[in-house]
Structure 1
Amino acid sequence: MSHIEQPLPFAAAAPSADIGTIYRKVIWRLMPFLLLAFLLNAIDRSNISFAKLRMAQDIALSDAAYGLGAGVFYIGYILFELPSNLYLQRVGARATIARIMVLWGLATVATAFVTTANQFIVARFFLGIAEAGFFGGAILYLTYWFPSALRGRITAVFMMAVIVAGMLSGPLAGWIMTNFHGWMGLRDWQALFVLEGIPAILLGVLGWFWLSDKPAQAAWLSSAEKQAIAAALALENPHSQTHGGLGEALRNPRVYAAGLVFFCFYCGLTTLTYWLPTLIRGLGLEDLKTIGLLNSLPYVMALFGMYLLGRSSDRRQERRWHVGLTMLFSAVCFAMIGFAQGNVPLSILVISLANAACLSAGAVFWTIPPALLTPTSAAVGIAIISSSGHLAAALSQGVVGAIKTATGSLYLAFDVIAVVMVFGALVLLIGIPAHALAERRAVGQSPTNEPLAALKKQ
């Protein structure tokens, strides 16, 4: 999970501290929990794509209503995203993440008992409220611990949970729905929601005892280790306490540019997440286990692409072109999906490339917002950007569902997504100039911050 190989002393803060050893310790303490939490989050958010294959008939759920339910989830998320991030700053990450996980687990279990399309839509809305702030809060939490020299790889590793979820959710859903139909009197799709909601509740309770809000509160770090981490972050952000906050984030036009970029590629990411099983079934496949296995293939390629792109971005300390070119490649793949229809192997290959590029761009993208914001304005700025993506999901899935209902096909929707991705790449490359990121990066490359410069080379 970590890749810090050489001892890198912080002479100013803790002469005897080995920063490589310290960050390995931090990574192995925090990242397994965060990865598992995000894994469960991705599974619980996307399991309706499999449940739909059975529940649609049971509760009279049309494609348009399904698209609305998939989208309205994000309305609830958006409404409570900023308050949740601000609340995290007040009460701490431990209480916030624990609360979010318990509530979304309960909402997932409750979805098993809907009986109409309207109840399904309401349940998804409340699931969005329950989950609000988890992703943005986790990204903010990582900035409390990791300097930008490591953040590309750390963010990529964190977002690999989405890939692992994509690899596991299909086979897992197929297995649960095949083997647990009738369990405790539940239908197959009901058992899916119950069995995949309970782990989030349990992990949320564990998070209360396992997480530490910031390095200074971590009982598992020594005083020298805490000082070394504080030195890394302070050298990177020497003016972090002098300005910032709500007003600064709201007045920063690059926050809105970044939000628009996230809006664009999140349209593509959520479309694949929610409609891939339906697309695969449209290729002529009906067996749930087969659909589940094929659904996992697009995520295998992304597992490698995400880490390699994040590592390359860290080594070169370049973010914009890494994200922009990857988004353009993903757009080309989205446009090609329609040309591959009817050919199962070619369709899966093109979808896999589109998915890998989209997820890889997302991992590196989330190193950009912290570089545009001061630490005191990060909570607001990240919430605004994250909410923009969730607004994209709310709108795009309603549009995709409407297109599917009107045309009987998803391919026109993928063409629209391709255009949106191209637009997002152009906004990034034009609206966020390189010097905006270089100004913050220059602090980490100063002669007084040799440990961070050394970390970047690893």
Structure 2
Amino acid sequence: MTTVNDDKLFRKVMLRVLPLAMLGFFLSYLDRVNIGYAQATMSADLGFSNVVYGLGAGLFFIGYFIFEIPSNLILAKVGARKWIARIMITWGLISGLMFIVDSEWMFYLLRFLLGVAEAGFIPGILFYMAHWFPASRRGRAWGIFYIALASSGLIGGPVSGFILSGMDGVWGHTGWQWLFVIEAIPTVLLGIVILFCLQEDYRKVTWLTEPERDRLGSLLAAERVDEAETPLRKVFTSKLIWLLTAVYFSYNFALYGISFWLPTLIGDLGITDTVQIGFLSALPSLAAIISMVTFGYLSDRAGERRKFIAAAFLLSATGFAICIIAGTDPVWGIIGLCLANAGALSIPAIFWSFQTSMLAGTALAGGIALINSTGNLAGFAAPYLIGFVKDTTGVATVALYITGGIMIVGAILTMTVRQHRAVATAKDLPSELVSK
């Protein structure tokens, strides 16, 4: 019998599975938040207030919330390849249509439709990857996968800055109009590539040997709990699921507060050149890449999720505190934003490893979708709050206090999961929500 080296096996899986998934994630996040780079010039051209911008940025998540669970359940029926390709092509086309925005209501409509189009992508990818990596390997795999999220700021910031500056006035159109068109094209093209190239079933790939396929199957099966179908309503009534959703909401509040307002927050430090803002916007993303890989590796090595998630929350809260203390000091302001972003972006890879180790079967698909869609409503709340505060007070300090406080709440909620889970297991969870 051939002995399979697990490290070699999962290096091979990562090299084959992660690149397309990461590129899709990179483009999805860039198309989701590039409005943050366009905000200053777009708002000035169209007469949008900070509240209008914050509301439009957040409406994405209302469409996302409404269609997230149906989208993920359809993915489970038709397969990841076809459905993820459909998601990418439609959201790319709608993102490009932001080129024609000329009023508040058109802005609101297209942001809502973009959320509808993108609904299901992230939980779909996570569901897909859970069929390639056992829980013991997911922290590292998803730590690498989530580099794509940070890279969208690392690469997207400077690129967006150059487009805004270099394309302004070309063929009679503004830089922000070109920004949406140029950054939408790769998304549509990648959707077509995924339709033909995404590999869904490890049992059918030729790049794994038969012993490797058997070993991968045994590792996945060894941790799998009861796969019997469970009514979706039981996922909705699980106290554990709602607690995890609250943790995820806390993380997303910081993530989208930073993402949609980062260029503006940097501008508040006295920096006005769009190219400089683009490059400085990359620094928090660079800090996040280092942090998220480190947290993922250490979490896997220690076999511990809760404490590392809580530590990441507290690191982010520390960053927000520094931002508040720094005031308009650009050096300390950037340091604070780096720490806030590094802590926030270190959370999701460990969180999904933590969460998917407790779920299986229908609960895995439904649970991921429910947690992701409801937690992402923070993406509506955070941009709108910051816009409202800035219009009301002229500064974002109050919003930074609130966001930092929510990160502390997230740390506390994370540390209650184990105790709450024991109660839920005994009383109200369906069998496949309970890990053995």
| Deviation (angstroms), 1:24 | 2.1
Equivalent residues in 2 for 1:57-136, closer than 5 Å: 57-136=44-123
Q: Deviations over 1:373-403 (max 9, x none)?
A: 1233101000111012211111222122111
Say if 1:400 and 1:412 are closer, same or farther in 2 by CA, change over 3 A. same
| Deviation (angstroms), 1:128 | 0.5
CA contact (8 A) 2:228 2:361 kept: no
| Deviation (angstroms), 1:211 | 0.8
- Residue 429 of structure 2 is matched in structure 1 by none
Cα distance in 2 for partners of 1:416, 1:435 equals 28
CA contact (8 A) 1:262 1:389 kept: yes
CA contact (8 A) 1:264 1:421 kept: yes
- Residue 451 of structure 1 is matched in structure 2 by none
Say if 1:394 and 1:248 are closer, same or farther in 2 by CA, change over 3 A. same
- Residue 22 of structure 2 is matched in structure 1 by 35
| Larger displacement relative to structure 2 (155-164 or 369-378) | 369-378
Q: Deviations over 1:121-178 (max 9, x none)?
A: 1111011011101111111111011011110011111111111111111110111111
1:316 and 2:305 matched: no
Letter in 2 for 1:137: G
Letter in 1 for 2:294: L
Say if 1:250 and 1:217 are closer, same or farther in 2 by CA, change over 3 A. farther
| Larger displacement relative to structure 2 (224-233 or 142-151) | 224-233
Q: Deviations over 1:307-364 (max 9, x none)?
A: 1111111011100011012212211321231210121001100110111011112221
Q: Deviations over 1:266-311 (max 9, x none)?
A: 1011000011111111111111111111111111111111111111
| Larger displacement relative to structure 2 (52-61 or 178-187) | 178-187
- Residue 255 of structure 2 is matched in structure 1 by 269
Cα distance in 1 for partners of 2:298, 2:4 equals 27
Cα distance in 2 for partners of 1:114, 1:255 equals 38
CA contact (8 A) 2:359 2:435 kept: no
Cα distance in 1 for partners of 2:187, 2:163 equals 17
- Residue 215 of structure 1 is matched in structure 2 by 202
Cα distance in 2 for partners of 1:435, 1:384 equals 17
Q: Deviations over 1:179-221 (max 9, x none)?
A: 1123343211000000000000000000011112221243443
1:150 and 2:137 matched: yes
- Residue 409 of structure 1 is matched in structure 2 by 395
Which residue, out of 411, 415, 421, partners 1:425?
411
Cα distance in 2 for partners of 1:114, 1:243 equals 45
- Residue 383 of structure 1 is matched in structure 2 by 369
Cα distance in 2 for partners of 1:260, 1:108 equals 29
| Larger displacement relative to structure 2 (178-187 or 321-330) | 178-187
Equivalent residues in 2 for 1:265-344, closer than 5 Å: 265-344=251-330
Cα distance in 2 for partners of 1:184, 1:96 equals 36
| Structure 1 unpaired stretches of 5+ | 1-13, 445-458
| Larger displacement relative to structure 2 (355-364 or 426-435) | 426-435
CA contact (8 A) 1:258 1:432 kept: no
| Larger displacement relative to structure 2 (63-72 or 48-57) | 48-57
SS at match of 1:366: helix
SS at match of 1:212: coil
Letter in 1 for 2:178: A
SS at match of 2:71: helix
| Structure 2 unpaired stretches of 5+ | 426-431
Letter in 2 for 1:343: D
Cα distance in 2 for partners of 1:434, 1:303 equals 32
The sequence identity of aligned pairs, in percent, is 36
Cα distance in 2 for partners of 1:435, 1:110 equals 45
Q: Deviations over 1:232-285 (max 9, x none)?
A: 100111x43345452442232111100000001110110000111111111111
CA contact (8 A) 2:143 2:349 kept: yes
Cα distance in 1 for partners of 2:291, 2:373 equals 26
Cα distance in 1 for partners of 2:319, 2:172 equals 43
RMSD value, Cα: 2.0
CA contact (8 A) 1:299 1:352 kept: yes
CA contact (8 A) 1:244 1:374 kept: no
- Residue 343 of structure 2 is matched in structure 1 by 357
1:241 and 2:231 matched: no
CA contact (8 A) 1:181 1:188 kept: yes
CA contact (8 A) 1:324 1:425 kept: yes
- Structure 2 length normalisation: TM-score? 0.94
- Residue 428 of structure 2 is matched in structure 1 by none
| Deviation (angstroms), 1:39 | 0.8
Say if 1:132 and 1:421 are closer, same or farther in 2 by CA, change over 3 A. same
Say if 1:356 and 1:344 are closer, same or farther in 2 by CA, change over 3 A. same
SS at match of 1:112: helix
- Residue 6 of structure 1 is matched in structure 2 by none
Cα distance in 1 for partners of 2:138, 2:12 equals 16
CA contact (8 A) 1:320 1:434 kept: no
Which residue, out of 178, 185, 192, partners 2:172?
185
Letter in 1 for 2:181: V
Cα distance in 2 for partners of 1:236, 1:431 equals 20
Cα distance in 1 for partners of 2:198, 2:9 equals 17
CA contact (8 A) 1:328 1:421 kept: yes
